Amino acid sequence: MKKVLYVMTSLSHKRVFESFEERPDIDQMILGPEPKITGIVPEDYSDFKIKKCKTFMHPKEIQVYVDKFKPDVFVQASLPCAKGIKLPQGCKKVYVSHGMIGNYIEKIIKMDKASFNNSVWKGCDLYCGATNIFANWIKYAVKADDSKILLNAIPQLDILYEPRYYNSYRDKVLAKTKYPDAKKVILYVGFCCKDRIDFNSHNEDYFRTVLELEKLARRHNWIIMVKPRQTFNAMMKFLHSHSWGKKYIDEYTNIRNSKHLHFITTTGHIYRYFFADVIIINGTSTVEVEACAIKKPLFIVRTCFSNISDRFGMIDTGTATGITDLCEIEYNLVKHFKDGSFHYPKLQEKRIKDMGITFDGKMHKRIQDRLARM
pLDDT score of 101: 83
Burial of 120 (0-12, 13-18, 19+ CB in 10 A): middle
Could you read off the pLDDT of 85-123 as tens digits, one per residue?
A: 999 999 999 999 998 987 766 666 655 555 566 889 999
Residues near 364 by Cβ (< 8 Å), separated by ≥ 6? Answer: 19, 20, 21, 155, 158
Determine the structural domain holding residue 47 and report its residue range: 2-158+359-373
110 and 175 within one domain: no
C-alpha span between 26 and 23 (Å, rounded): 6
Could you read off the pLDDT of 311-334 as tens digits, one per residue?
A: 889 999 999 999 999 999 999 999
CATH code for the domain in which residue 143 is found? 3.40.50.2000
107 and 17 within one domain: yes
Residues near 268 by Cβ (< 8 Å), separated by ≥ 6? Answer: 38, 41, 43, 227
Question: Which of 166-175, 282-291, 339-348, 352-361 has the lowest average pLDDT?
Answer: 282-291
290 and 221 within one domain: yes
pLDDT score of 140: 85
151 and 20 within one domain: yes
Q: Is the pLDDT of residue 182 over 90?
A: yes
- Asked if 208 contacts 303 with a C-beta cutoff of 8 angstroms, the reply is yes
CA dihedral angle for residue 150, residue 152, residue 153, residue 155, rounded to 10 degrees = 180
- Asked if 305 contacts 284 with a C-beta cutoff of 8 angstroms, the reply is no
For residue 31, what are the β-bridge partners? 7, 54
208 and 133 within one domain: no
Could you read off the pLDDT of 229-267 as tens digits, one per residue?
A: 999 999 999 999 999 999 999 999 999 999 999 999 888
Query: How many CA atoms, within 13 angstroms, populate the side-chain half-sphere of residue 137?
Result: 27
From 2, 4, 92, select the one nearest 52 (Cα to Cα): 4
C-alpha span between 371 and 351 (Å, rounded): 29
181 and 153 within one domain: no
347 and 221 within one domain: yes
Distance separating the N- and C-terminal Cα atoms of the chain:
11
178 and 314 within one domain: yes
Count structural domains, the chain. 2
From 312, 322, 254, 255, select the one nearest 288 (Cα to Cα): 312
318 and 172 within one domain: yes
pLDDT score of 284: 80
Annotate 44-64 with DSSP letters as a single string: SSTT---S-EEEESSGGGHHH
C-alpha span between 290 and 298 (Å, rounded): 10
191 and 152 within one domain: no
222 and 144 within one domain: no
108 and 33 within one domain: yes
